[in-house]
Structure 1
Amino acid sequence: MSPPEFNSFNFNKSVHEAKMARIQRRLIFPLALLLAVGFYYTSSFHSSIPALRWQHGSAIAPGVLDDPEYFWRKLPTHYQLQSIRPLPGGKPLKLPKIQHQFSQETSAEKATRLERQLAVQEAFGRGWKAYREHAWLQDELAPVSGGAKNTFGGWGATLVDNLDTLWIMNMRSEFEDAVAAGTNISFETSSLTEVNVFETTIRYLGGFLSAYDLSGDQRLLRKAREVGDMLYVAFDTPNRMPITRWDVTKAGKGELQEASSWALVAEIGSLCMEFTRLSFVTGDPKWFDATERITEVLKAEQSKTKLPGSTYPPPSLLDVFSNMQNYATLLLYAILLLTVDTVWPISINPKTKDFHGDNTFSLGAMADSVFEYLPKMVALSGGLLPEYGEMYTYAANTAKKYSFYRPMTPDNADILLAAAVHVNKDGAGKEVPMSDFVGQHLVCFVGGMLAIGTKLLQRPDDLDIARKLTDGCIWTYASMPHGIMPETFLMTPCPSKSTTCEWDEYAWKKALLASAEEDVTKLTKEQISALADQVISDKRLPKGFTDVMDRRYILRPEAIESVFVLYRVTGDKSLLESAWTMFQAIQEASKTNLANSALADITIASKDKPHQTDSMESFWMGETLKYFYLIFSEPSLISLDEYVFNTEAHPFKRLLR
């Protein structure tokens, strides 16, 4: 019998398996020790504490608001659950503080702050008065014509989205009127055939829950339960994955449903905060169970995506034990020994639970809030759901490696922006990540996310990145003719985000001509410069920008969100000045006779007012003005150590020890 032919693949595989076996043997003892200690902690903890019924650290009665006759609860369930995941047990953990320890302000500082706060409240008051007079109980006000629009089901999106804003701004009379009207909204039918489950969750469920958390009004909790019962029906599919673009009419008739084969990761992965909070305040775990099933898939799929990460550096056992506060922390460190960093792509397949097949990755549109909710779920749950901290750690590490870049600017500003990443095969068939340097207003939330993560999950190195990303958005605002950032744009990346990056006007001009798909191979340097000047004039490009693809400003909140969060985290007073400059610019361009309007093109000359598009989404007052108001408020108002904001800026009470 001749000897077998040498197979390098099998040989390398055998070597690899031998190495892995040695590693696994080395880990057996520490992992066994971790599990043993964990069993002790778990047994002693859970044997002494009953099932969790916590609301901001206080027990509440189970079974609240049980209304079996409600329309959406009476529908038959087609795909029965064999079991429901229970709410996490035990007392909330003592998590690190997020907010800066503010010193007492001077009388002059207070006077300036209150003057600015009042200006923001007046802008909100104008908008609310106009909504009340022209679009009451409709989804949106048309702020130029004075009409109304129903874009989110006809359930009074602006009203519900701003219940908590009214409370925060101490507009109690208006709040009472809005609650009285809002509690009469019927969610049994919709003005739309198809509703967006994600948008309905963050606006309506989030709006009612937040207003309840702030006021304690039981009517609001009942409405949150009604919305939750409606949305729960979207999960009645064979694999319990929700339908993100949901035919509410067919569902109301009790027809069979199944999850689609395509969805945006943000729309399926960003339901957990609202559903979990609803379970916490009602004591009913069914909503927690619904989104926990999604979380389990996200966690299982995270290491399978096409964007490669790097092995997380394993801590020493000494580090493990010196940092050990509880079993959850101990188990987290054990898992970190074997995990790689990665993020999810923007599109997924809920029908097959394939969350890793797409090749496009972004922290911006279509993916944003799935990452935003990871550290926020740690805060919301009082640290009782450590898997969210794990997933955030891996995602943040990958984002730092691939997503952030320093743009070349005429003032050599040391700022960062976030890029998208496409993973494509090169000539040799190897999958290679390629950056897409499209800047987005929507991605400006990332600075705030990292700032929260740096405190809550003790990642101090991320704070500098958080600041540079936030400064990148502030810089982009200031660089535009009206002081307002566009929806999307392009800039030229520096060779490295960590080294100096001197302004090179000729390099910028060549880059913008490449963006404009101009062939310059046969042109002289002078001709290239002249052609670039023409493109700059035609496209109204400020220095540093190679294109502005979407010139709108739709009253977005993401930039002021990060400015607010970073101010609360660092106490840096320069951020107050940046916020005020931004507010004044937005007011100047968007103010109408009634309220404020989205803008069609913010690149036109500063002497011309941008065209107002007669659109005012509910997030203008519910998010943008709320963040402007809060940054000029006492830091104790909606403290980040007591509340956590959902992606629609609705503050939920955190579970606290």
Structure 2
Amino acid sequence: LTYLNNYCETTAFFKILTYYRTRLAAMMKHAWLSYKTHAWGANELRPLSRSGHQPSVLGQAPLGATIVDSIDTLYIMGLDEEYNAAKKWIEESLNFDNTQVSVFEFTIRFVGGLLKFSALSFYTMFLEKAEELVKAMLPAFATPTGIPRSLINLQTKNAMSFGGAPSGCSVLSEAGTLHMEFQYLSELTGKKEIRSAIASIPRPNGLFHSYINFHSPSYCISHSTLGGLSDSFYEYLLKEWIRSGKNDTEARQLYDLSFFIASHFRSLLLMLHTYPGMSSIYFSQHFLSFSPVFSNPGGMFALGSQNNQSSEWFQRGARVTETCYKAYTSTDTHLGPEKMVFSPHEFLSVDDKKYYLRPETVESYFYMWRFTKDVKYREWAWEVVDALEKQCRTDAGYSGIKDVTLSGSPKDDVQQSFFLAETLKYLYLIFSEDSLLPLNRWVFNTEAHPLPIRGQVDLGPDIWPRLSV
């Protein structure tokens, strides 16, 4: 890959990029056909057991999460036969059984997937399905503040909080990570009120608390974080500002506040929890990709820098992305753990050795590649591809592993739907031209489903150029 650093438009250059995309499309096809053969209609695949998997956040009913999550990736890669099978299932078989689901997970995977693909493909059926899903979830928003409860039964309409959350409270990262999808649906009018209610809650030390009261604009416990429980809320502030054509100034102001706080911390590695009477602990969690501060391995810093011309933001993004790369290469599998413990100056240990096929690090590589054209990000991405093939591939799909420090680690027997929706999509886009989903026209939701930026895309059946594989 190194010779590509010149970014020359030669026949050899395009041939090698075509080879990489072909390899990635083959990985997608292997994951998809394994799911179709052994778990069709289930939410996810167990590749070792060769059976369906029903993650608790999506309930126990087979809702086809992998199908809805994967359809835009199949379309991007030109896997038309597989795409048509997914489209047919959504049109004929997607329904809402008597099951309890996470409002957040259902929004980013199902509503997000359907909305984004309706924008890309111009099939009204996808928009109609998304509207149907949102209507099924609306009772969760029937609270005094409009801040939703975390769980809802799609048939009985009974809504409730997570068992682990304080009574009467919702998680900030979940309640605050719905507005971009809902803003795109004209019949849902509660979005602005939801974020306004969150914005009115007191913020000690400038941070929102992780649990917010849906009965009144207040917080539930004195716990703040810029990582898990809060991260995607900050991500969506930035992305909704971009998606709105930079007209949503409230979103930008709230996002800038979080960066101001981040800029006053010494360490960028990678997360901060604060509790009264306790010292600060710095560490990285894989899932934290999208906190604007210490999480998304660089991606959100880099994206934010392109929209406020801040070289400081961009350099932070580059440093955090490099930290994540080093964490990957420090393990025997060349895959990153769920959690790494740091001091302010050095890596200390792996605290959680599992790898769930997560996309956050390759997403950062994607943003850094788009903004710099530095070939190292393509090289780093291909190292991930090699590691996935060596450590996670099975005869029936791909599986997460239990110990990234051990080559040949036992597998966890789950092919997560986000592996097809996010991980493989971002890897494919790294080796594609910028004309495929350009960042000045599209913004990705937290499940990697693209939404058109207002005023930048004329929606229609031929709006989306595809690269052949």
Give TM-score scaled by structure 2 length. Answer: 0.88
Where does residue 344 of structure 1 map in the other structure? Answer: 208
Distance 2:136 2:145 in 1: 18
Superimposed CA distance per residue, residues 192-240 of structure 1 (whole angstroms, 9 cap, x where no aligned partner) = 3x21000000000001111111111111111111111112222123332
1:165 equivalent in alignment to 2:165 = no
Name the SS for the 1:546 alignment partner. Answer: strand
Alignment of 1:557-572 (within 5 A): 557-572=359-374
1:180 equivalent in alignment to 2:88 = yes
Q: Is the 8 A contact 1:167 1:214 kept in 2?
A: no
Where does residue 428 of structure 2 map in the other structure? Answer: 629
Where does residue 97 of structure 2 map in the other structure? Answer: 189
1:276 equivalent in alignment to 2:183 = yes
Which of 312, 328, 342 pairs up with 1:461?
312
1:230 equivalent in alignment to 2:128 = no
Where does residue 291 of structure 1 map in the other structure? Answer: 191
Distance 1:272 1:103 in 2: 38
Which of 235, 255, 260 pairs up with 1:372?
235
Where does residue 470 of structure 1 map in the other structure? Answer: 321
Where does residue 438 of structure 2 map in the other structure? Answer: 639
1:654 equivalent in alignment to 2:456 = no
Superimposed CA distance per residue, residues 512-555 of structure 1 (whole angstroms, 9 cap, x where no aligned partner) = xxxxxxxxxxxxxxxxxxxxxxxxxxxxxxxx643322110000
- TM-fit CA distance, 1:104: 5.0
Q: Which amino acid aligns with 1:182?
A: I
Distance 1:359 1:199 in 2: 25
- TM-fit CA distance, 1:421: 2.7
- TM-fit CA distance, 1:444: 3.5
Which of 316, 338, 361 pairs up with 2:224?
361
Distance 1:166 1:636 in 2: 17
Where does residue 126 of structure 1 map in the other structure? Answer: 30
Where does residue 286 of structure 2 map in the other structure? Answer: 441
Where does residue 202 of structure 1 map in the other structure? Answer: 108
Alignment of 1:52-91 (within 5 A): none
Q: Is the 8 A contact 1:444 1:469 kept in 2?
A: no
Alignment of 1:348-427 (within 5 A): 348-355=212-219, 358-402=221-265, 405=267, 416-425=268-277
Alignment of 1:579-594 (within 5 A): 579-594=381-396
Where does residue 262 of structure 1 map in the other structure? Answer: 169
Name the SS for the 1:162 alignment partner. Answer: helix
Distance 1:362 1:202 in 2: 21
Q: Which amino acid aligns with 2:26?
A: E
Where does residue 54 of structure 2 map in the other structure? Answer: 150
Distance 1:182 1:149 in 2: 19
Where does residue 465 of structure 2 map in the other structure? Answer: none
Name the SS for the 2:274 alignment partner. Answer: strand
The alignment covers a number of residue pairs equal to 435
Q: Is the 8 A contact 2:64 2:94 kept in 1?
A: no
- TM-fit CA distance, 1:448: 0.8
- TM-fit CA distance, 1:360: 3.1
1:109 equivalent in alignment to 2:9 = no
Where does residue 344 of structure 2 map in the other structure? Answer: 493
Q: Is the 8 A contact 2:148 2:170 kept in 1?
A: no
Distance 2:399 2:111 in 1: 26
Distance 1:186 1:420 in 2: 40
Q: Which amino acid aligns with 1:396?
A: F
- TM-fit CA distance, 1:252: 6.3
Where does residue 163 of structure 2 map in the other structure? Answer: none
Superimposed CA distance per residue, residues 248-289 of structure 1 (whole angstroms, 9 cap, x where no aligned partner) = 454269xxxxx952221111100011111222xxxx3xx2x3
Distance 1:359 1:487 in 2: 25
Where does residue 10 of structure 1 map in the other structure? Answer: none
- TM-fit CA distance, 1:353: 2.3
Distance 1:108 1:343 in 2: 51
Distance 1:250 1:197 in 2: 14
- % identity of equivalent residues: 32
Q: Which amino acid aligns with 1:345?
A: H
Distance 1:345 1:581 in 2: 38
Distance 2:354 2:147 in 1: 35
- TM-fit CA distance, 1:394: 0.4
Name the SS for the 1:567 alignment partner. Answer: helix
Gaps of 5+ in 1: 1-101, 254-258, 309-341, 406-415, 426-432, 495-543
Gaps of 5+ in 2: 1-5, 160-165, 291-295, 457-469
- TM-fit CA distance, 1:400: 2.3
Q: Which moved more, 1:131-140 or 1:177-186?
A: 177-186
Q: Is the 8 A contact 1:260 1:351 kept in 2?
A: no
Superimposed CA distance per residue, residues 327-356 of structure 1 (whole angstroms, 9 cap, x where no aligned partner) = xxxxxxxxxxxxxxx23222222222214x
- TM-fit CA distance, 1:486: 0.4
- TM-fit CA distance, 1:434: 3.5
Distance 1:260 1:275 in 2: 26
Distance 1:240 1:597 in 2: 39
Where does residue 69 of structure 1 map in the other structure? Answer: none
- TM-fit CA distance, 1:183: 1.8
Q: Which amino acid aligns with 1:207?
A: G
Name the SS for the 2:340 alignment partner. Answer: strand
Q: Which amino acid aligns with 1:624?
A: T
Q: Which moved more, 1:107-116 or 1:462-471?
A: 107-116
Q: Which has the larger radius of gyration?
A: 1
Change beyond 3 A, Cα 1:260–1:160: farther
- TM-fit CA distance, 1:103: 6.2
Name the SS for the 1:180 alignment partner. Answer: helix
Distance 2:410 2:35 in 1: 21
Change beyond 3 A, Cα 1:370–1:589: same
Alignment of 1:488-567 (within 5 A): 488-494=339-345, 545-567=347-369
Name the SS for the 2:326 alignment partner. Answer: helix
Name the SS for the 1:246 alignment partner. Answer: strand
1:218 equivalent in alignment to 2:120 = no
Distance 2:245 2:167 in 1: 33
Distance 2:271 2:144 in 1: 37
- TM-fit CA distance, 1:401: 1.8
Change beyond 3 A, Cα 1:277–1:155: same
Superimposed CA distance per residue, residues 546-601 of structure 1 (whole angstroms, 9 cap, x where no aligned partner) = 33221100000000011101111222221111111122112210010111001011
Give TM-score scaled by structure 1 length. Answer: 0.64
Change beyond 3 A, Cα 1:458–1:231: farther
Q: Is the 8 A contact 2:112 2:181 kept in 1?
A: yes
Distance 1:594 1:380 in 2: 38
Distance 2:359 2:27 in 1: 15
1:611 equivalent in alignment to 2:456 = no
Q: Which amino acid aligns with 2:317?
A: A
Q: Is the 8 A contact 2:170 2:211 kept in 1?
A: yes
Which of 305, 309, 324 pairs up with 2:203?
305
Distance 1:454 1:626 in 2: 23
Distance 1:491 1:479 in 2: 14
Name the SS for the 2:144 alignment partner. Answer: coil
